[in-house]
Structure 1
């Protein structure tokens, strides 16, 4: 389960975005479930911020379809399905493959060497059990490919889709870290060989595995509508 210990964000820039990331992670990791209310005062107190950035964050999440506004009651978590999760990961895979297509012809010895060092950083963070370090390293690896591709707008679309992923949930899982390290190494070899098919295979494996892991986690958390029906029936 993701570590959601309250953290003071009062001095951080882009405060409402930070709060939105925090609440989005709680939703996507199943910490809060569809039908649960997100309390402004409680969220603000837990993060050490005022209510204003929390309200702004919830407006952002409403636009993303993650929360709904109930008049005079507040914001509650929107319904979510397995198909929603699968769609999010499918979109990321398709965008990533397009970016890879553009990046591969642009890779040179220097950028390949830099990419190799980023994988070393990931391996070191994983071996140390450094969750934050793993998140940073994996982000840097993907960002490196995006930058080489020179596809700014496409990379932004991918970044928006990637916001839904609870990265700490993955980074805390030793099995995921081991698989991710292997995928990163496979991708490096595909980049070195300019092998588009091999690179696409890595992307498909990475995102299909990520979707499966998250669906299984949310199954256990009981976030799907059908998982809540017996509870609702018992209360009727």
Structure 2
């Protein structure tokens, strides 16, 4: 029995609403699916099958696969279709190293800009987050976790840097995080030193605490992917053909 089954958690359902291009949402769905092994390395992503699964026409699926191909997540093979590119341990570590660096810098900048009122609101969100974890309401925990990070990032007044962070977050399987052993607990315990540092206007400590939090979440995801045999061997993937 895998960790997701043992904890009784399931990923959130994909939301393919109309507030952004369908192709982008389909791409996000496949990107997350590759990260967690829903789409396995080497298998072909069939356009018609995926369109039926998501309840969309084949056109946004084709557009999404073209986008993913430009990113290197899938590879086009003539007369065969798009094939999933292996995901390696180094790929995941690189992703979270970049994310931790940017998120840490945003926390550093936010420390001098958050008002007392904003800090009160952050601490209230954290209190609600902790209650959600106690009640095992993981959908609510996900939403509150997003709000905590979003408000810190917005307070940094660094829009371009936030955009870069959101690009890296786009590769993280957000719908699956609550199914990963230790993630909910990390959101409860790792946030505390971040908020204390922000309350004290201690920018250096806020950056360090945020960096450690993101790194911790990345390690939890790596352990989950290793246990579920999702990751490919780095040497095998990159050795000359």
Is TM (by shorter chain) over 0.5? yes
Give 1:232's aligned residue: none
**Matching of residue 76 in structure 1 with residue 76 in structure 2:** no
- Cα contact 1:8–1:48 (8 A) shared by 2: no
| Distance (whole Å) between structure 2 residues aligned to residue 183 and residue 37 of structure 1 | 39
2:74 to 67, 73, 77: 67
- Cα contact 1:102–1:149 (8 A) shared by 2: yes
Q: Alpha-carbon deviation of 1:223? A: 3.0
Aligned pairs, number: 228
2:49 to 42, 49, 62: 42
**122-131 vs 42-51, which moves further:** 122-131
| Distance (whole Å) between structure 2 residues aligned to residue 33 and residue 175 of structure 1 | 24
Q: Where does 1:24-39 land on structure 2 (aligned, <5 Å)?
A: 24-39=31-46
**Matching of residue 90 in structure 1 with residue 97 in structure 2:** yes
Give 2:131's aligned residue: 124
Structure 1 unaligned residues grouped into runs of 5+: 230-236
Give 1:112's aligned residue: 119
Question: 1:196 and 1:39, CA in 2 relative to 1: closer, same or farther beyond 3 A?
Answer: same
Structure with bigger RCO (C-alpha 8 Å, 6+ apart): 2
CA distances 1:82-127 after superposition (whole Å, capped 9, x unpaired): 1111110000111112212211110111111121122133223323
| Distance (whole Å) between structure 1 residues aligned to residue 177 and residue 13 of structure 2 | 19
SS at match of 1:32: coil
Question: 1:73 and 1:135, CA in 2 relative to 1: closer, same or farther beyond 3 A?
Answer: same
**203-212 vs 148-157, which moves further:** 203-212
**Matching of residue 18 in structure 1 with residue 57 in structure 2:** no
Give 2:239's aligned residue: none
Q: Please report the TM-score for the alignment, with normalisation by the length of structure 2.
A: 0.85
Cα RMSD over matched residues? 2.3
**Matching of residue 177 in structure 1 with residue 177 in structure 2:** no
Q: Please report the TM-score for the alignment, with normalisation by the length of structure 1.
A: 0.87
SS at match of 1:225: coil
| Distance (whole Å) between structure 2 residues aligned to residue 27 and residue 76 of structure 1 | 11
Give 2:225's aligned residue: 218
Q: Where does 1:177-216 land on structure 2 (aligned, <5 Å)?
A: 177-216=184-223
| Distance (whole Å) between structure 1 residues aligned to residue 185 and residue 104 of structure 2 | 22
| Distance (whole Å) between structure 1 residues aligned to residue 21 and residue 128 of structure 2 | 27
Question: 1:10 and 1:49, CA in 2 relative to 1: closer, same or farther beyond 3 A?
Answer: farther
| Distance (whole Å) between structure 2 residues aligned to residue 99 and residue 24 of structure 1 | 25
Q: Alpha-carbon deviation of 1:29? A: 1.0
